[in-house]
Structure 1
């Protein structure tokens, strides 16, 4: 009969058409890199020809899992665009964007890198990734909704309170990123913040011989910032600089706020070095230096921490402590998979190494 719908193809149809077992079809769908290329091509050709679409519900019923892992990131407030309109023509707005550096830097490139790493690891393991933002008045509802749809949840530190994480952890594995939470009973993935900051500050103070320093810190409740501040102080003491003599200002890890702080800092006696707790803050300091005619590195050297791509293209290019942000996301997904396979045992902590990248904003030597 014309227009009559036929039954959708099944995994058995795909296996028969490709001449393989249903287990092989499943491996191609979940972990394609683990299947020989010729076999994988036959299965994928059969899938395309038959129009087969895997059923997530069927997989969940069969394996008592969803095949989905969650990543919970902090939410961001939307900042209104206050740039003046120049022309509105045919519904297209034309604006003067020459002063764009004065606008808040809304995209958090650190989270972008973590997300990409988590996506890649999930895909290679045949898993889907659900991403959500966890701040605001609806935070608890969002967290519980995501937790009910995934097999495990990775959460950026300080996104939600511990009591909410403990509630979720009764049902599914929880992994905390950018914080060592073993003492709280969670698996964790973090980087060696203290060692990275200690190394770059030792370069500034020990190798370059700089004693006039300002530190642009992050939020006071950030575990990352607390570890980096400890490494900063350790390096100062090691090289005979009293931490009490260093000017410390607290930003919010954002470029706009750091620009404001640096502008005020440069209005007085300009320090010979400004060490920043993250790259976006350091980019804000570079903005302020350029706006006030202060030369980098001739008048002041500037360092960051993270290793985001924007630091490679700033002017001058930013010296930074590079942390493996993508690997943070990948390690979080691996930790969830490992906890699902081995649910018992004490909390596990993964700490990833960092490296210092010397660039033009703070070169190997001041005459470089």
Structure 2
């Protein structure tokens, strides 16, 4: 009669059955090419016979690692805004869904960065664990994640720099979307300032615009600060006054972009050009302006930054600065793995290039 095991088989059981060390079991499960064919066969036979399912901790015993990379970024939404779905006994219902009711708040930028992290981690036999630092427990959540992974990829603004420095004493940290300052951390970013400057100089020189306003994102976010600085540099280079602050400030979401545009329309004061800090804000602005009868680009030019897919499918298509978002994640993992291999290596501050994409929303192409 078959017996039922009283407990889940462990890596020690596999090692005992195969007659090898637990380090050899770990290498077979992670890097079988480093183990002799005979030992590999015995370990795999033991895994099959025992019904062993390797855990992350068991796979990492030989290297004293978890085999995971953590990805942390701040919340771009509000849990309180998520409406509960009403239950119904009817399996399928129907309602009218006017376009103006669609106000997505998902941050597509982080989705692309996370995709790059996950793919590069997978390429190295690792996996990615994603955490959103939200509310009062954001610092504790980051520290908890750090204790479960080999290293962290953290979006700038997720938690105060001093928290990252403290975490990095035990778990390597790579900061995405922020220039390296005095902190002892590796950084990966894109050429935000030069990209924005090139875009604005194009609006000034090619289109002859002078009434150009900047629509910023969340205050003190490094990406936003660099883009506004590039905006100011373009104006100064053409002898135009440089504002001390953006005309408007949003939160990088399409929903907030719509709200800002409604305010401009209601006030009856829409500049010749609205240079938005990111694409989602710009898409929200364009949507509201067009519904109010303001032509884009006939009456006002609107531009974005990021190069998300939706910007290339909108009507008009959005002129923007494309940054390699997935590549940011991939390079962050590369830097993190280098840090894990050599903790004493010089700190890195990698800057990835960007590309200005001229489309219909600035008037360069026929709508």
Q: Structure 2 vs 1, CA of residues 337 and 55 (structure 1 numbering), >3 Å: closer, same or farther?
A: same
Instruction: Note the C-alpha offset of 1:279.
Output: 0.4
Shift of 1:195: 0.6
Q: CA deviation at 1:52?
A: 6.7
Post-superposition offset of 1:163: 1.8
Aligned to 1:313: 313
- 8 Å CA contact retained: 1:156, 1:177: yes
Residue 129 of structure 1 aligns to a residue whose secondary structure is strand
Matches within 5 A, 1:272-351: 272-351=272-351
How many positions carry a matched residue from both structures? Answer: 348
Return closer, same or farther for 1:47/1:344 CA change in 2, 3 Å cut-off: same
Partner deviation per Cα, 1:244-295 (whole Å, 9 max, x = no partner): 4997111111112221212222342332211101001100111111220111
5+ residue gaps, structure 1, are 15-20, 31-41
3-state SS in 2 of match to 1:63: coil
Q: Deviations over 1:127-165 (max 9, x none)?
A: 111110112122232112111111111111011011211
Structure 2 residue 56 is the aligned partner of structure 1 residue 56 = yes
Unaligned runs of 5+ residues in structure 2 are: 19-24, 35-40
- TM-score (normalised: structure 1): 0.84
Q: Is the 8 A contact 1:83 1:95 kept in 2?
A: no
Q: Which moved more, 1:320-329 or 1:176-185?
A: 176-185
Question: Contact 2:212 / 2:272 at 8 angstroms: preserved in 1?
Answer: yes
* Contact kept in structure 1, 2:232 and 2:243, CA below 8 Å: no
For 1:143, what is the secondary structure of its paired residue? helix
Aligned-residue offset at 1:4: 5.4
Alignment map for 1:222-237 (pairs within 5 Å): 222-237=221-236
CA contact (8 A) 2:203 2:209 kept: yes
Cα distance in 2 for residues equivalent to 1:214 and 1:253:
16
For residue 227 of structure 2, give the secondary structure of its aligned residue in structure 1.
helix
Match runs of 1:173-192 below 5 Å: 173-192=172-191
Relative to structure 1, the CA distance from residue 29 to residue 140 in structure 2 (aligned partners, 3 Å threshold; closer, same or farther) is farther
Q: TM-score, normalised by structure 2?
A: 0.84
Would the alpha carbon gap of residues 204 and 48 (structure 1) be closer, same or farther in structure 2, given more than 3 Å must change?
Answer: farther
Matched, 1:158 2:157: yes
Cα pair 1:213 1:246 within 8 Å, conserved: no
SS at match of 1:137: helix
Deviations 1:101-121 (A, max 9, x none): 345422110011011111000
Aligned with 1:306: secondary structure?
coil
Q: Classify the secondary structure of the residue corresponding to 1:305.
A: coil
Indicate the larger mover: 267-276 or 107-116.
Answer: 267-276
Indicate if the aligned counterparts of 1:303 and 1:362 stay in contact, CA closer than 8 A: yes
Is the CA contact (8 Å cut-off) linking 1:212 and 1:246 kept in structure 2?
A: no
What is residue 68 of structure 1 aligned with on the other side?
A: 68
Which residue pairs with 1:80 in the alignment?
81
Is the alpha carbon distance of 1:149 and 1:88 closer, same or farther for their aligned partners in structure 2, counting shifts above 3 Å?
A: closer
Say which is worse superposed, 114-123 or 243-252, in terms of deviation.
243-252
Paired residues of 1:219 and 1:251 also in contact (CA < 8 A): yes
How far apart are the structure 2 equivalents of 1:240 and 1:129? 48
Kindly state the Cα deviation for residue 301 of structure 1 after the two structures are TM-superposed: 1.3
Q: Secondary structure at the match of 2:61?
A: helix
Give the conservation status (yes or no) of the 8 Å contact 2:143–2:167.
yes
Contact 2:216 2:248 in 1 (8 A): yes
